[in-house]
Amino acid sequence: MRQVGIFGKRKSGKSALMYALTRQKIIQDASFSAMEISGVTKVMLVDTVGVDVEGSTAEKSAQTVEVALMLITDDSFELELAWINKLRKGGSSVIVVISRADLFTDGGAALAAAAREVSGLKTICVSSETGAGIVELDNLINHELSSISNCGFVNEE
Ligand SMILES: Nc1nc2c(ncn2[C@@H]2O[C@H](COP(=O)(O)OP(=O)(O)O)[C@@H](O)[C@H]2O)c(=O)[nH]1
Ligand SMILES: [Mg+2]
């Protein structure tokens, strides 16, 4: 099954995002983590332990996901950048997610701009609390998955 991984530090909102993305899409007869994201059938969303955990098992998940969501919550995201490089070298497409965006007065726009500039990647602000950006992220994930399958190889981008 195609896998989409959710990465980020502890308490960055990974589990809340997994729940928000899958809330209305749980396939009745499947395990809780197997679900349908919009038009794409049966994508497995993988929740991971924090990338800031020593000996993190996120290392293992990084090897199997086609698309990785890297959650960022504040402007010290050096560790996340290192993981982004690792994920991309391993062949995953990475989407940068400004998580818990409702906590920013500007909705995370400034942090998103900074992360976009440094990483050169698509960056989106989401709030699992308010639902802001969830549909847009869902669409972006589908876009990434379909461009991977359309090309028949894993995009460097
Ligand atoms: N305000 C706000 N809080 C959030 C949001 N997402 C998660 N949280 C809170 O942040 C904390 C950590 O969330 P969790 O999903 O468990 O993070 P994880 O450790 O990365 O899985 C919890 O107290 C959540 O209620 C969000 O979008 N907005
Ligand atoms: Mg969690």
Tens of pLDDT, residues 38-63: 554 568 889 999 999 988 788 888 99
pLDDT on residue 44: 86
For residue 26, pLDDT over 60 is answered with no
Best residue among 11, 33, 51, 99 to mutate for probing ligand 1, ranked by most atoms within 8 Å of CB: 11
| Sheet containing 34-37, strands listed edge to edge, beginning at the edge strand earlier in sequence | 34-37, 40-47, 2-7, 67-72, 93-98, 123-125
Among candidate residues 17, 36, 15, the one with its CA nearest the CA of residue 27: 36
Do the strands 123-125 and 93-98 form a parallel or antiparallel pair, or are they unpaired?
parallel
Say how many Å lie between the CA of residue 58 and the centre of ligand 2: 12
Nearest ligand 1 atom, CA 128:
27
* Domains parsed from the chain with CATH numbers: 2-151 (3.40.50.300)
Indicate which ligand has the atom closest to the C-alpha of 71: 1
pTM of the model: 0.88
User: Confidence band (pLDDT; 50, 70, 90) for 11?
Assistant: very high
Span from the CA of 15 to the centroid of ligand 2 (angstroms)? 4
Distance 36 CA to ligand 1 centre (A): 23
For the segment 13-18, the average pLDDT, to the nearest whole number, is 95
pLDDT digits (tens, 9 = 90+) for 90-128: 999 999 999 999 999 999 999 999 999 999 999 999 999
What residues does ligand 1 touch, defined as CB less than 6 Å away?
8, 10-16, 100, 102-103, 127-129
Mean pLDDT of the residues in the chain: 86
DSSP 154: -
pLDDT band at 30 (very low <50, low <70, confident <90, very high): very low
Residues with CB under 5 A from ligand 2 (ion): 14-15
Of the chain, the percentage scoring pLDDT greater than 70 comes to: 82
